[in-house]
């Protein structure tokens, strides 16, 4: 089990009108829509994660894990709030974040209604592995960081990435603590992998349809060609995602101790770039 304390940072980010250009991810058409899509999934997704873990809170007998859960819930609540704020800004820029959030919220409420709690917790553990893998790619690969320039989107994603890595094992540890089996863990991961890929492809496609730049000769093709070389689709990312399906896997198999220490200081140290965002 992860041993470090999980701190709930009360941060707030501003996105002044006009501070983001239309295609804010290094001018790239597809990546800008893809990041907006991901941001739109976070508020309903974080709510679902909190509900799934909180359901078992009374069954957690390990005081260290109980403290981890409190930190996890606090961080996820702030993530949802700040991405909701960002999503309103992106919506004003023409991205259909409100529609995507509504679809995800509806589907997750159906999961609440019809799926057993342990399956929902398995979904949460698996999706947390996806977010932590993407987060650690962002924190380790300068190419990924350069895509976001010096915008407010860069700030919110770096903060979010730090905290996703900090609490990457919490839902997983709760799943094991309350009796979740390896079979259920791996099966739920396979299911959500298919669903997540479907959402990313169809959601980005629908989002692109509303962007006039999509119809400019060559613009979409060039962006799709560049996507093949994205650091987020590299071999190491794919290897880490697939590792989840191996028997005996644990998120801490990928040690992020040094990475976290470096980024905590860089973002929230005495001279941290985001220290002023703490409330």
H or E segment to which residue 245 belongs: none
> What pLDDT, in 10s, does the model give residues 4-21?
789 999 999 999 988 899
Q: What is the CATH number of the domain that holds 76?
A: 1.10.620
pTM of the model: 0.95
d(CA 57, CA 232): 33
Total domains, the chain: 1
Q: Which residue range forms the structural domain that includes residue 240?
A: 29-273
CA angle 58/59/63 to nearest 5° reads: 85
> What pLDDT, in 10s, does the model give residues 209-259?
999 999 999 999 999 999 999 999 999 999 999 999 999 999 999 999 999
Q: Is the pLDDT of residue 74 over 90?
A: yes
Whether 98 is covered by a domain: the verdict is yes
Helices and strands: H and E segment counts in the chain:
11, 0
Please tell me the predicted confidence (pLDDT) of residue 149: 85
Whether 20 is covered by a domain: the verdict is no
CA angle 211/213/214 to nearest 5° reads: 75
Whether 11 is covered by a domain: the verdict is no
Paired with 11 in beta bridges are 278
Whether 84 is covered by a domain: the verdict is yes
d(CA 26, CA 24): 6
Whether 10 is covered by a domain: the verdict is no
Whether 9 is covered by a domain: the verdict is no
Whether 247 is covered by a domain: the verdict is yes
């Amino acid at each position: 089990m992860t041993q470090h304390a999980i701190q709930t940072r009360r941060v707030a980010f501003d996105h002044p009108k006009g501070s983001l250009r239309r295609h804010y991810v290094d001018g790239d058409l597809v990546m800008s829509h893809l990041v907006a899509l991901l941001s739109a999934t976070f508020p309903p997704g974080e709510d679902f994660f909190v509900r799934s873990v909180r359901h078992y809170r009374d069954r957690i007998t390990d005081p260290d894990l109980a403290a981890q859960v409190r930190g996890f819930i606090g961080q996820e609540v702030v993530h949802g709030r700040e991405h909701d704020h960002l999503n309103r800004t992106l919506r004003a820029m023409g991205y259909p974040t409100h529609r995507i959030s509504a679809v995800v919220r509806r589907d997750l409420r159906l999961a609440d209604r019809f799926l057993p709690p342990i399956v929902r917790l398995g979904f949460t553990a698996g999706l947390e592995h996806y977010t932590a893998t993407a987060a650690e790619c962002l924190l380790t690969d300068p190419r990924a960081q350069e895509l976001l320039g010096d915008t407010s989107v860069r700030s919110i994603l770096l903060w979010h990435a730090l905290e996703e890595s900090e609490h990457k094992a919490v839902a997983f540890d709760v799943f094991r603590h309350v009796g979740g089996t390896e079979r259920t863990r791996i099966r739920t991961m396979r299911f959500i992998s298919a669903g997540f890929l479907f959402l990313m492809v169809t959601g980005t496609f629908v989002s692109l349809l509303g962007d006039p730049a999509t119809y400019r000769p060559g613009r979409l093709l060039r962006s799709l060609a560049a996507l093949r070389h994205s650091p987020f689709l590299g071999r190491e990312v794919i290897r880490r995602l697939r590792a989840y399906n191996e028997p005996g896997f644990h998120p801490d198999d990928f040690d992020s101790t040094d990475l976290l220490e470096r980024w905590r200081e860089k973002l929230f140290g005495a001279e941290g770039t985001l220290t002023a965002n703490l409330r």
